[in-house]
Each structure stands twice: as structure tokens, then as C-alpha cells.
Chain A
Amino acid sequence: MSNRFVEAGLSAPVNVTWEVTLACNLRCRHCLSAAGPPAPRELTTQEAVGLVDELHRMGVFQVNFGGGEPFLRPDFEDILAACHRRGIVTCISTNGTLLDRARVERLARSGMVAVQVSLDGARRETCDAIRGEGTYERALEALGLLAASPIPTSINAVLTSANADEIPELHDLAGALGVALRVSRFRPSGRGAGAWDELRPDAAQLLGFGTWLAGRGDVRTGDSFFSLTPQERMGLGLNLCGAAKLTCCVGPEGDVYPCAFLQMPEFRAGSVREEPFAGIWEGSRVFRALRRLRIRSCESCHRFDRCHGGCPAVAYHLGRDLGRGDPECLERCVSAVAAGGPGRAREELEP
């Protein structure tokens, strides 16, 4: 029933992903934003707080901060505080390297923030090979500080071919630390495009993960895996892409996109420097097109009502066509494995 309301268009996003800076002190191989140096003209503090005001007026419930590494922005805690003062809940995606006890205590005072710390393997060598030397230990230190605080905390792992076999172990690690596990989907954007062939999970790994996920209601996935979601989890999440319908992304320089994985000129819906955010949300050509998008090639599939064609961003990155259907959906994974076993599965998933 809710799909009808969502597709009719909401007055504002439910949540906004805001990449507050492109600056990052790590160079993760799969980074969706290819973060490194800051963007040339990142929003000023005044502009950022102005955007918070506007999101509040529109009724946005939550802002998910990412980057880059958000804590590299000297005014990041001011922006957070501006959200909290207006009743907007926040979630921070961080690599954890800049968290210390004092910062965690300050964050905890708001009672309105959740933190995700990136950790891409249950073993040091796996994580460090993707995120850089020493990242595993530093993430664990940050998780320890957060776990001792009242801040809702999760490990955020991007599922790749390198760590697919370690996800159950990562789940155990999260449990031992007293935090949640969130698994996100690897998409070929940013630096991830260059690492795609090496790091993308094959069909057998995706199916294995889907099967494992079926019995793990406590593992969070956002809407990452809705095209792969087994029946047992259908009630927990969305069954359609929320980009431009429930959510959107604001980049470091104020450009607005349908989602973090479609930050390309052809999907730029507008800039908060040039027009009000509300006008972009309501009227941009890009957003309207995504709201009308129908994945016709998937409509005859028996799972169509469950995934509505999956993630358009992956389809676009791999085939330059939003309407082709998700190349990594459950049906295609099953077909790929049946056709030739895991050895052929990677090739068979090509769009």
C-alpha cells in the first residue's frame, strides 16, 4: 500500500544523505565518492546551516551524514547541532579514525545521533587490504568507545568478493562488541568503478549472503539488497528504489542528486546554492523522471512486485541505462549459478 503513496510523491524526503565534505584521510578502494582532497567549493558553515533550516521547514526526519570523512570538516559538529536543535535525527557514517572519548561524549549528549563505523572485514588483513593499513585497529578502537556510550552504533561493511565469506564472523564480532551490523551493497561508482571487477561479489556469494540474511533479522541493510532480499526479510524493508521518492543526496558543494551512487552531471537535479531545496525536490526534471521510471524489462518476472527492478544506479553504471533492471537481482543470481556454477557466475551477471 505504501508504494502507491511513495510513487505519488512525498512533500519532502524522509531522509537526506549529505556528503558534507569530499575530504578523507583514507583512500578506500571501493569508495563510492572517490574521496580524498576536499571539493573546491564546499558549502560554508552558513550555507550548511541554511540548508538545515530548509530541511527542517520541509519536515525532513533524518539526515545521514557521510563524505569523505565528515569529522574532517571543522564545523561538522556545529552542523550536527543545528540539526538536533531543530529535531532532525542524524546518522554519521565515519571511518572512526577521528573519534576520541571527548568527541563521543559530546555526540552522546544530543541523544539524536547514530553512528556507523566502516569495517570491511572480520579479519585485519581483509579490512586493511581494502581500506588501508591500520584501519581495522582504529575502527575497533572507535567502536569500543561508541559501544560504551548510549549512541546507537553499527559496523558498516560493504559486501565485496574479499569479505563475503567473513560476514557471519563480522556479525559475531559486532555481537561481541555490543553493536549492530549493517551490510551495504558495493556499487560501481567513484573509486568503486575501478575496483569493480576485482571486488564485486559473484552470484554465488550474493546468493549465499541472501540466504544467510534470511535468518538474521537483526542485520541492517537499508535498502541496499532489496533486489536480493529473501522472502523472510521482505517485511523489514523497502521493495523499491527510494531515490527521488523517499530520499536524495546533497553533495559537498550543494549539488543535489537522486542518491549517493548517482552523483554524476547527468543526474544533477540542482544546487542549493542556486535555488531552494524544496524547489529541486518538487520540480527537478531528473527527480520527476526517476519517479516515473518503470523497469519494463522486469515486469514479467515473478519477483517484480518484490523488487520493481532493483537498483537503477547499478544498472546505469554497468549498462548506461536506468531501465535495464538490476544486473545483480536474485533471479539473475539464481540463473547465473544454475547456468555454470560460481565460476561462471561473474560473467553471467554482466548486463
Chain B
Amino acid sequence: METRCHVLHPSCRVRQEAFGLLFYDMQGPRLLFARTGDMLDAGVIARGLPVEQALRARAPSSRAAAERLILHLVEKGFLREQPVC
């Protein structure tokens, strides 16, 4: 059972673009272009729901790529970890 999940940082916004997800941090301001294609549903993330719920693709390789992306986004401050999903 998952004990943690990741949500959009309150100072950040996200939207869908043709290449994937475009993140915006109003504290910077900073932009991050994530080449995710349609792997993740920006609408889910934008509503503050866990990124784990935004994963469209179910293949193990996609899940692994998504996990790497999530770690990167946490490092960059666009996502933050929450203890319970």
C-alpha cells in the first residue's frame, strides 16, 4: 500500500501542451518543460490531486518513467510529497 503521494506545490501551476506538461512556479517565476506526451493528465495535477492518479499509461516502462519524472519535479520544487494519498 502506498504511504506517500505527490501533489502540485501551492505556488505552482501546470497545463497540458503538445510536448507534455508545462509547469510554472510563480515564486521564481520559473518554467519547466516536461516532455511527457500524454502520459500524465495535467487536469488531475492542476486540481491538486496526486500525480500518481494522473498517470494514464499503465505499462511498467511508463510507470518507471513517471516515477523518475516525479522525483525530478520534487527536486525542482514543482511537486511536494504528501504522507497519505
CA distance A61 to B18 in the complex (A): 17
Q: A10 contacts B24, CB within 8 Å?
A: no
Chain A, interface size: which category? 10 to 19
Q: A11 contacts B18, CB within 8 Å?
A: yes
User: Interface majority SS on B: helix, strand, loop or mixed?
Assistant: strand
Q: A61 contacts B26, CB within 8 Å?
A: yes
Q: B13 contacts A2, CB within 8 Å?
A: no
Q: Does A102 contact B (CB under 8 A)?
A: no
**Using Cβ atoms and an 8 Å threshold, which residues of chain B touch A112?**
26
The smallest beta-carbon distance between A229 and chain B, in angstroms, is: 16
Cβ-neighbour of A59 out of B15, B19, B27, B33 (below 8 A) = B15
**Using Cβ atoms and an 8 Å threshold, which residues of chain A touch B31?**
2, 14
Q: B17 contacts A11, CB within 8 Å?
A: yes
Q: Does A94 contact B (CB under 8 A)?
A: no
Q: A62 contacts B17, CB within 8 Å?
A: no
Q: B24 contacts A61, CB within 8 Å?
A: yes
Q: What string of 1s and 0s marks CB contacts (under 8 Å) between B10-29 and chain A?
A: 00010111110010101101
Q: Does A22 contact B (CB under 8 A)?
A: no
The smallest beta-carbon distance between A236 and chain B, in angstroms, is: 9
Closest to B32 in A: A2
CA distance A152 to B35 in the complex (A): 31
Closest to A1 in B: B33
Chain B, interface size: which category? 10 to 19
**Using Cβ atoms and an 8 Å threshold, which residues of chain A touch B17?**
5, 10-11
Closest to A61 in B: B24
The smallest beta-carbon distance between A80 and chain B, in angstroms, is: 15
Q: Does A12 contact B (CB under 8 A)?
A: yes
Q: Which of A1-28 contact B (CB under 8 A)?
A: 1-2, 5, 8, 10-12, 14-15
Q: Which of A223-270 contact B (CB under 8 A)?
A: none
Q: Which of A61, A62, A112 has the most CB of B within 10 A?
A: A61
Q: A62 contacts B19, CB within 8 Å?
A: no
The smallest beta-carbon distance between A57 and chain B, in angstroms, is: 11
**Using Cβ atoms and an 8 Å threshold, which residues of chain A touch B29?**
15, 62
The 4 tightest CB contacts between A and B, nearest first, are: A59-B15, A61-B24, A89-B26, A2-B33
Given A59-B16, A61-B26, 6 other A-B residues pairs in contact with their CB atoms under 8 A: A2-B31, A5-B17, A14-B22, A14-B31, A87-B13, A89-B13
